[in-house]
Amino acid sequence: MERLLIRRPWDMHVHFRQGEVLDGLVRETARYCAGALVMPNTSPPILTYEDALEYEFRIKNVANRAGYQHFKPLMALKLAQNTSEQTIWRAASSINSIVKAVKLYPRGVTTNTSDGVSAPLEKNLQKVYAAMQEVGMVLSIHCEDPNADVFAAEEQYLPVVGLLTHLFPDLRIVLEHVSTRAAVEFVQQSGPNVAATITAHHMRFNRNHLLKDGLRPHLYCKPILKTENDRQAVHAAAVSGNPTFFLGSDSAPHPKNAKETSCCAAGVFTAPILIPLLAESFEDARMLDRLEGFASIYGPQFYGIVPRQSAALLTLVRETEQIPHPRSSEAAVLPLAGESLRWRIQY
């Protein structure tokens, strides 16, 4: 196969940041995606419907000015320990219903989460989950215990998720960026209300790529890359055709000088090469025909959005293209910079 046409992807876990970098990051995703679920752990954070509405306006303004009027940002609120059910009702009652999820970050688990949740099963938050269950809003979870060993953190937070599924059986839950066999199996053994996003880097890399023969800081992320056994499980889930596993890139850019330092920031920046990177992984598994489902259909469907059969198509061509190095110390570094990919998007 020399050419592949798929419906435009939906990235169900993307970081656009705030401030000056917003323009470039929105353009980088909007040029090939139909839409994206935008993460709320910004500075300042997205805590209310009004925050989300203002953030969505700025994102759409950038996309429209760049000529990407097709791009639809979906918004998430950041769950705080004092979030109330009124916040959920307010977001759900809006005419355009732009808020599709509430994101649970355990306190201190990743970037900008010092105001995260320390007691996820507290009574006032149970009222929030009940309201979300009633209105059909998704609970998106960064599934890691911030107090656990970094390589065991995801597995050790699964009991919390298990309790939530027991207490709120109709609540739709997404485990974000699953990185372990244990998390994959948890989703597989749960009902259809539990799903997971998968990143291109957790499909492709394991902790040896990060740590063996020298530390590669541009592959450092949270959740951290795991064993080859875990990577294989994540990869198999992504290419399986199971609609409870779908694309969430967690593309998280940091400037070169923030990654190549004594204490580097967590995040892998894949947005500019995301779809060619995925195409290689699916082709290696001889499952290229399942890329469209994973990248373009299953995610929006779980969030209640049905991609049109007539939606605009994205064309991938088999043509070697080198991954560029950053132009300055302020630019983000792509994984595999200097190496080549077998596929590229034809614009």
Catalytic residue numbers? 250
CA 310, chain centre distance (Å) = 25
268 to 27, 210, 250: CA distances (angstroms):
18, 12, 8
Of the CA atoms within 13 Å of residue 80, those in its CB half-sphere come to 14
Write out the DSSP string of 87-144.
HHHHHHTSSS--EEEEEE-BTTSSTT-TTSBS-TT-HHHHHHHHHHHHHT-EEEE---
| C-alpha of 273 from chain center | 15
Q: Which two tokens stand for residue 216?
A: 């590669």
Integer distance in angstroms from the first to the last C-alpha of the chain?
A: 19
Q: Measure CA 22 to chain center.
A: 17
Asked whether 343 and 330 are in contact (CB, 8 A), the reply is no
Please state, in angstroms and rounded to a whole number, the distance separating the CA atoms of residues 248 and 256.
Answer: 23
